[in-house]
Amino acid sequence: MAGNVWVVLQHRDGKLHPIALEAITAALGLAQELGVEVEAVLLGSGMEALASQAASTGVARVHVGDSESLAEYTPGAYVGALSEALTTAAPSFVVFGHSYQSVDCMARVAHAIGAAILPEAISFESTEQGLVFTRPILEGKMHSKVRLKGEGTAVVSFQSASFEAAATDQPTSEIVPLVGDSGAWKADRELLGVEDVAGDAVDLSAADLIVAVGRGIGGPEKMEIIEDLAAALGAEIGASRPVIDNGWLPRDRQIGSSGQTVAPKLYVAVGISGAIQHLVGMKGAACTVAINKDPGAPIFTVADYGIVGDLFKILPALSAAIREAKS
């Protein structure tokens, strides 16, 4: 008999993180395949309201680790809290939504309980070979299908937008305190503070039209043709991470998991290959155009229209055509 599926719920500002609701959907799906139940875990301090939110998502039980030592996330305290309960429960899966917090701690959880680890899956299916998980490799250019070798617990994370958010109007489930000695939940690093690096100079989330530029532009001196296309369209300029890291544009232009999340009517991705970290920031675009010299670039799998070729030749023609159409 397989163990239950556990799902660790992240939260921020007193609300369940959207990725937590997606993780619940994934966990419910896994549990259905295995014929078991889903047990959710919430860690933090002062958790009553969050616990009742979690209890209405269709999980069988919500385990709440409520302690001062969990008020701020540290891997030490989180792993301490999770490992005792998980070792006792021996789940089949421990599911995390993929976030910068969960990746920081999921490996330590897996190590502490002697589990296998399967990060950043985007889907799973039940096959003759058992449960098969798909995860992107080679910066999203290819996918890998993997299965777990052993019978023991596996710690799995699912990339954002892989599953729909779970409904939050389900019959209330049981809320129980997390098993374990909270005295042993100790921080292993000190949080000195949080700084805002993006600033709020440019709010791309409200832009209707965005021209986003990637590494393919090659350097800051070539940014003029991007500016010209943006001017022709009346669009804001955004960028993928490498452009920002190279200092070609300021950080408040970054779109993706570490930058802004946008949902324009039109998103023109120029010289952007389309790593998953970028895609999660622009998947809400109603219409996406990709211009890239590499026909295998993953951006073409999410775009509506694609042009394979030299952006330095295509952009001037496109800017001219747009100006002509508008006049």
Partner 1 sequence: MKIAVCLKQVPDTEARLRVNDAGTWIEEEDLSFAINESDECALEEALKIAEATEGEVVVFSLGPARVGEALRKALALGADRAVHLEDEAFAGGDALSTARALAAAIEREDFDLILTGSQSDDLGFGVTASLVAGHLALPHAWLVMGIEVEDGGTARVVREMESGKNEILRLTLPAVLEVQAGINHPRYASLKGIMQAKRKPIDKLGVEDLGLSADEVGAQGAGLEVLSVGFPDSGAAAQILEGDPASVAAQLVEKLQKEARVL
Which residue has 């959907």 as its token pair?
A: 25
Q: Under rule CB under 8 A, how many of the chain's residues touch partner 1? A: 97
Compute the least distance from the CB of residue 326 to partner 1, in Å: 8
Tokens of 121: 């899956």
Tell me, what DSSP letter sits at residue 290? E
What is d(CA 223, CA 249) in angstroms, rounded to the nearest whole number? 9
In whole angstroms, the minimum distance from the beta carbon of 176 to partner 1 comes to 28
Q: Is 186 in the site for partner 1 (CB under 8 A)?
A: no
- Kindly tell me which residue out of 222, 258, 263, 283 binds partner 1, with binding defined by CB under 8 A: 258
Q: How far is the CB of 99 from partner 1 (least distance, A)?
A: 7
Window contacting partner 1 (CB under 8 A); options: 48-56, 84-92, 165-173, 194-202: 194-202
Among the residue ranges 27-35, 43-51, 102-110, 165-173, the one whose residues contact partner 1 (CB under 8 A): 102-110
Kindly tell me which residue out of 188, 203, 224, 227 binds partner 1, with binding defined by CB under 8 A: 188
Binding residue (CB under 8 A) for partner 1 from 27, 106, 211, 262: 106
- Contact residue for partner 1 among 4, 25, 67, 101 (CB under 8 A): 101
List the Cα angle 60/88/18 in 5-degree steps.
Answer: 45
Give, as ranges, the residues between 216 and 255 that touch partner 1 (CB under 8 A): 233, 241-242, 244-246, 251-252, 254
154 lies in the site for partner 1, by CB under 8 A: yes
DSSP string, 244-283: HHTTSS-GGGBBSTTSB----SEEEEES----HHHHHHHT
263-292: contacts with partner 1 (CB under 8 A)? 265-266, 286-290
Stretch that binds partner 1, among 23-31, 87-95, 97-105, 176-184 (CB under 8 A): 97-105
- Binding partner 1 (rule: CB under 8 A), the pick from 25, 260, 271, 272 is 260
Among the listed residues 13, 181, 196, 221, the single contact to partner 1 using CB under 8 A: 196
Q: Compute CA 203 distance to the chain's CA centroid, rounded to the nearest angstrom.
A: 20
Backbone angles phi, psi at 93, to 5 degrees: -130, 145
Site for partner 1 in 303-322 (CB under 8 A): 303-309, 313-314, 316-318, 320-322
How many whole angstroms separate alpha carbon 275 and alpha carbon 309? 19
By three-state DSSP, how is residue 170 classified? coil
- Choice from 2, 198, 231, 263 touching partner 1 (CB under 8 A): 198
Q: Could you give the CA distance from residue 268 to residue 290 in angstroms, rounded to a whole number?
A: 6
For partner 1, the closer CB: 1 or 194: 194
201: contact with partner 1 by CB under 8 A: no
Long-range CB contacts (within 8 A, 24+) of 313-322: 315/225, 315/226, 315/228, 315/229, 315/270, 315/291, 316/225, 316/228, 318/229, 318/232, 318/291, 319/225, 319/228, 319/229, 319/231, 319/232, 320/232, 322/229, 322/232, 322/233
Among 120, 165, 168, 283, binds partner 1 (CB under 8 A): 120
- Which residue, 173 or 260, is less far from partner 1 as judged by CB? 260
Q: Pick left, alpha or beta for residue 64 (phi over 0 → left; psi -120 to 50 → alpha; otherwise beta).
A: beta
Site for partner 1 in 42-81 (CB under 8 A): 75-76
Q: Are 7 and 23 in contact (CB under 8 A)?
A: yes
